[in-house]
Chain A
Amino acid sequence: MIITKKMLPRRTFLRGMGVAIGLPMMEAMVPAMPLPQASITGRKSPVRLMFLYVPNGIDMENWNPSYAGTLGELPRILKPLEPFKDDVLMLGNLTHNWARVLLDGPGDHGRCSANYLTGGHVLKTDKSIYVNSPMSMDQLIASRIGRETRLASLEIGMEDPRQSGNCDSGYSCAYTNNLAWKSQTQPMPPILDPRMLFERLFGASADLSPEEREQQRRLRTSILDFVKDSTNSLAKDLGPTDRRKLDEYLTAIRSIEVQMERAAKDTTPIPPGMEKPAGTPADFGEHFKLLTDMVTVAFQADLTRVVTFLVTREGTSRPYREIGISDGHHPLTHHGGKRDQLARVTQINEYHLSNFASWVGRLAALQEGNGRLLDNLMLVYGAGLSDGNRHLHDDLPTVVVGRGGGSLKPGRRIVYRRETPFSNLHLSLMDRMGVEVESFGDSSGRLSGLDTV
């Protein structure tokens, strides 16, 4: 809760009523873990990667321009990005083959979101979870370079998952609730509540002195040692599946230890003007802005270099009253060609884009080193379905915003050969994050022409 200047009229009133009340304490939201801004100045700025995923496909007629090459007038949905189009790279014909029906029957929504960053086959089951890929590409990057920042990666989202019933045709809800997968069986749930995100980025124990914080760190270390010891001795006599569950916990404990080490070295204060949010706003735009503004700070302070943002989840029936749409998003996308229904889908697509574009606008104004923050970002905005009505998995709508530290030449639209694996984009992006691997998912090579005109 934030106590603001709004206190005055109240106190005046209370005095008038003859009620004696002590002065409220003005508690500034000082972060428990200060930010290391200084640490990234004076050397080459790191490249940061973020995925923003929107569900239920996109109205492709209003997404794809009729041309390739230098970006001219942008189609209707992408219009909000017009002022920033020199920083926009559009990619065409990227396909996620493993998200297709193949032999697994219905469940395109479940498959396409779990497959999006993992590039692998998703086991069709509602009893457990399994993605046939060692981890998602963001987590692969995090596992390699995550130790350089306090948070190896950050996962955020905006929609509380469905609470009961089935999510998609025999696919566990875990597949649609998460984008990032730390292992074949361990998804990384997104933070939805801005308050929770604030606490993760800036620390929850704001009222501790530096000495107390150091003491807390020492005690935490002892506690985590205790946990590791008991977990290890427990695991000795267990079967493989139970042991895997405990291993997941141990892995998570280790990531806390790494964070604590990092935090001990950080010394710079939080940027002024950041307030701890009270909770989750009902309004889509407000929620989006709160989350992305905190991501901006996380980028500026180099708290993390890998972010995934599940804007809303596949199959969502969220209505968009913000723009006068009372029907659920998912039922609308099965418009079967009906124009007025499709028009509402287009409006939702546009609305998502306009929220994204206004964030890009805020980012574009920020400096970093001798250039702009945006020069060092790669914000991939896209969907795991192209045509949501027909559940198509080819030509996935994909734009990359930013210049990837000079490794991208945006302002263009590149259309690849049909059926080019989306996983090829993953390979190319991982290169730019300093993580070079031979192959990923169903990749067949790297995407050409991203950095040459």
Chain B
Amino acid sequence: MNRRQATWAFTIVLVLFATTRTRSQDNPPFETAVAPIIQQTCTQCHNENNASGGLNLRQLVRKESLVSHRAEWETVLRKLKAGEMPPPPLAKPTGLPAMTAAIERELDRLDRNIKPDPGRITARRLNRNEYRNTIRDLLGVDFQATQEFPTDDSGEGFDNIADVLTISPLLAEKYLASAERISARALGLVRLPKPISASYSADVGGGQITGTNGRARRTGVSFIEVPHRVDYDGEYVIQAGLSGHRGPEGRPVTMGFWMDGALLYQEEIATTPPKTVYFNPYEVREFKVFLPEGRHVFRLGFMNDDAGAAMPANRMYDSAANKYPHYIGFLGPQARSEESSSRRRILICDPSSGKACVERILSGLARRAYRRSVKASEVAGLVRLVDRARAEGLSAEHGIQTALTALLVSPDFLFRIERDAEPRNAEAVHRVTDFELASRLSYFLWSSMPDDQLLDLAEKGRLRDAAVLDAQVTRMLADPRAAAFSENFGGQWLETRNLDSVKPDPVKFPEWNNELKEAMRTETRMFFDSILRGNRPISEFLTARYTFLNEQLARFYGIENVKGMDFRRVELQTQQRGGILSQASVLTVTSYPTRTSVVLRGRYILENILGSPPPAPPANVPPLDEDAAGVSQSLRQQMEQHRANPACAVCHSKIDPLGFALENYDAIGKWRTTEGKFPIDTAGMLPDGTRFLGPSDFREALTTRMPQVAESLTEKMLVYALGRGLESYDRRSINSIVRNSEAKGYTLQALIFEIVHSLPFQSRRGER
């Protein structure tokens, strides 16, 4: 008897054996519902000789394999639930739903018999964003950690994974130097140099004067912009150079001055001819603003300047017809005219008055910096540093600064360390302390330290109370600091952070510029934020009938009647746009510099929306004739040829149709109906066989995969919330998070609340 016959015989015996037992049960067991399909259908491709997708399912014919090959079974289950297997043209066996249910039931049953495992999070250092936000909330100092520290490595798609975040000597050096600087800035002890000046003039449009430090970029008729490094916190005199006038009829405009997108100063400006100057009219407005240390982008311009925008091209920079910003000068630093709030907050009493005050100051700082209550011995260690500084002849304030520096390089500040009573006992599952829970919450939702309210509740032991916890999460989600969740989780889940590293070809895409890029980023951030704050269902990520636009982006989308540079909610009137898969940010980060990529976009959807990432391609894949696309052949025809190769078809029949659905958007997300001379064909089907014609019903079709989409997002969010990769024992928690949020209509907040209450978020255990 050869192997095949043996297998058949075995199957028949199994089936006979099983049928005698199932009559008495409603739920068919593994042997009848699962094993036969595995044997007859799955192992055709997934066997020891040809482990398609890396899976040899001959290992999974026995029930014991549910325990011994758990990871493989999870994969099988995921593919079945996604409707991807068996792939077309193979027919789906009729017993497939029963099989899927049986596997789920068996895995659940197994899980019920083992003790739940919350897993364990390694001591995690703050990443750059967390460091910056924590310094902001602790001391009120704006410290640009992203520019001062080396890049954080990421894993699992996120930059907050404990096991991937390490400390190099370079980073430690930076921690020390930055701690000295930050503490001096917080206390206002940085010695200021004499004021110096720096200035920039526009690269387009003339004016009377020239900047000494380089060119300012013109970002519109009435705007110039320049990146500039401020070396010291302090007050600076800003000189706004404005060229030209708009004649005697010229109406006043509002001049604004912005730093990193935030308006710092505005005043009304006349545009009529000046009385004192006869030719080359030029006006310099001066005003004083406080600027924080760091590299910033400064913008000078006229708000809602319709007259400027309507100026014909040949008169835009004609000083007899138009008035426009031309020059930005910085003169400073000067000492602040009033004491900073950072300093007031630290110096709650006069540290030169004696030890009692020094202790008061330091114990308060340490509690917040360490995010827990501090022992008297810890405060004593800090007080000794103050004494040490005073022994050097330094003032009491400098003593506080020395102790504050030490706080900021202490491992209790830099790391989030959670304690176990039995660190070497993996069976010793326990809830994290209230203080640890407060930090888990705040770094999850705010990417920052817990505030006083959280610390106070933790100190009283009340945070673990479910009702108190819910109230806190609600409060935190409404807090402005929750913007960090949209920024960091949203930006990494949707990969819009990569907008800075994609570099669309300026020749093929002349509309691409910095402003457009930032507008794209803002749209998606605000969109995410509105789903978060409005507690909307996550299906709106795919099908929302609104978005957030300013004039530039609206024009790019072909949407009228959105005026000005401010973003606002816009109800969408056509099916061209709706949801993240129609947003230019996402469409751009999933393209190459010169063209779209159905593969990159298809992979993006499988990975980030459907949670079913395809395997990586082999090297030396047959090439795609990019130059020919749109000329001699459509991209689609080419991809179909590519897929004629069976080795490619396995994955590409699943990936490509998803990408083709978005072919109406070019490589920077602009709507198009042809590619070169060929019309675009967007029809296709999902991996489960659901058919669609174009981008809008594609998006609708994706929402029919709801449990799957919710599960995918849950997994990503749980990785982000925990700062660790997921393990098979997390499956139970994921299942229950998804199940429980279904009842709440799969809203984004429902997922967050469920994660906060989940076992891995609430508990930990010792190490194996």
Q: 9 tightest CB-CB pairs across the interface, nearest first?
A: A127-B725, A336-B623, A128-B163, A169-B616, A252-B172, A106-B616, A391-B619, A326-B505, A189-B150
From B123, B194, B211, give the contact of A242 (CB < 8 A). Answer: B123
> B-facing mask of A98-141, CB < 8 A → 1, else 0?
00000001111000000000000000011111000000000000
Report Cα–Cα, A191/B439, bound state, in Å: 30
Cβ contact within 8 Å between B194 and A24: yes
Cβ contact within 8 Å between A230 and B410: yes
Q: B195 within 8 Å of A by Cβ?
A: yes
CB distance from A444 to the nearest CB of B (A): 26
CB distance from B335 to the nearest CB of A (A): 14
Cβ contact within 8 Å between B193 and A21: no
CB distance from B202 to the nearest CB of A (A): 16
Cβ contact within 8 Å between B621 and A186: no
Known: A178-B153, A188-B169, A189-B171. A9 touches B212 (CB 8 A): yes
Cβ contact within 8 Å between B229 and A340: no
Q: B409 within 8 Å of A by Cβ?
A: yes
> B-facing mask of A176-193, CB < 8 A → 1, else 0?
011000100111111111
> B-facing mask of A222-246, CB < 8 A → 1, else 0?
1110110111001001111110011
Chain B residues with CB below 8 A from A129, complex form: 153, 155, 163-164, 166
Report Cα–Cα, A389/B177, bound state, in Å: 44
> A-facing mask of B586-620, CB < 8 A → 1, else 0?
00000011100000000000010000000111111
Nearest B residue to A215, CB-CB: B392
Chain B residues with CB below 8 A from A251, complex form: 169
Q: A27 within 8 Å of B by Cβ?
A: yes
Nearest B residue to A177, CB-CB: B153
Cβ contact within 8 Å between A163 and B616: no
Task: Give residues 427-452 of B contacting A (CB, 8 Å).
Answer: none
Nearest B residue to A252, CB-CB: B172
Known: A173-B155, A238-B417, A335-B623. A223 touches B503 (CB 8 A): no
CB distance from A53 to the nearest CB of B (A): 17
> A-facing mask of B655-678, CB < 8 A → 1, else 0?
000000000000000000000000
From B176, B331, B498, give the contact of A256 (CB < 8 A). Answer: B176
Q: B251 within 8 Å of A by Cβ?
A: no
Question: How many of chain B's residues touch chain A, expressed as a range?
Answer: 35 or more
Cβ contact within 8 Å between A227 and B497: no
The total number of A-B Cβ pairs within 8 Å is 303
From A167, A219, A245, A259, give the contact of B122 (CB < 8 A). Answer: A245
Cβ contact within 8 Å between B166 and A164: no
Cβ contact within 8 Å between A328 and B593: yes
CB distance from A396 to the nearest CB of B (A): 16
Q: B360 within 8 Å of A by Cβ?
A: no
Q: B210 within 8 Å of A by Cβ?
A: yes
Question: How many of chain A's residues touch chain B, expressed as a range?
Answer: 35 or more
Cβ contact within 8 Å between A161 and B151: yes
Known: A22-B195, A234-B411. A326 touches B229 (CB 8 A): no
From A163, A255, A279, give the contact of B295 (CB < 8 A). Answer: A279
Chain A residues with CB below 8 A from B506, complex form: 321, 326
Nearest A residue to B623, CB-CB: A336
Task: Give residues 487-539 of B contacting A (CB, 8 Å).
Answer: 491-493, 495-498, 500-503, 505-508
Report Cα–Cα, A277/B409, bound state, in Å: 27
Report Cα–Cα, A267/B607, bound state, in Å: 57
Report Cα–Cα, A418/B331, bound state, in Å: 65
Cβ contact within 8 Å between A219 and B388: yes
Cβ contact within 8 Å between A227 and B406: yes
Report Cα–Cα, A7/B195, bound state, in Å: 13
Cβ contact within 8 Å between A249 and B172: yes
Cβ contact within 8 Å between B123 and A238: yes
Known: A177-B151, A223-B402, A223-B409. A3 touches B168 (CB 8 A): no
Chain B residues with CB below 8 A from A7, complex form: 197, 212
Chain B residues with CB below 8 A from A241, complex form: 122-123, 163, 767
Report Cα–Cα, A325/B724, bound state, in Å: 39
Q: A170 within 8 Å of B by Cβ?
A: yes
6 contacts between A and B (CB under 8 A): A1-B198, A127-B725, A170-B616, A230-B412, A248-B166, A255-B169
Cβ contact within 8 Å between A230 and B153: no
Cβ contact within 8 Å between B623 and A341: yes
Nearest B residue to A159, CB-CB: B501
Cβ contact within 8 Å between A220 and B176: yes
Chain A residues with CB below 8 A from B111, complex form: none
Q: B414 within 8 Å of A by Cβ?
A: yes
Nearest B residue to A278, CB-CB: B229
Report Cα–Cα, A255/B493, bound state, in Å: 37
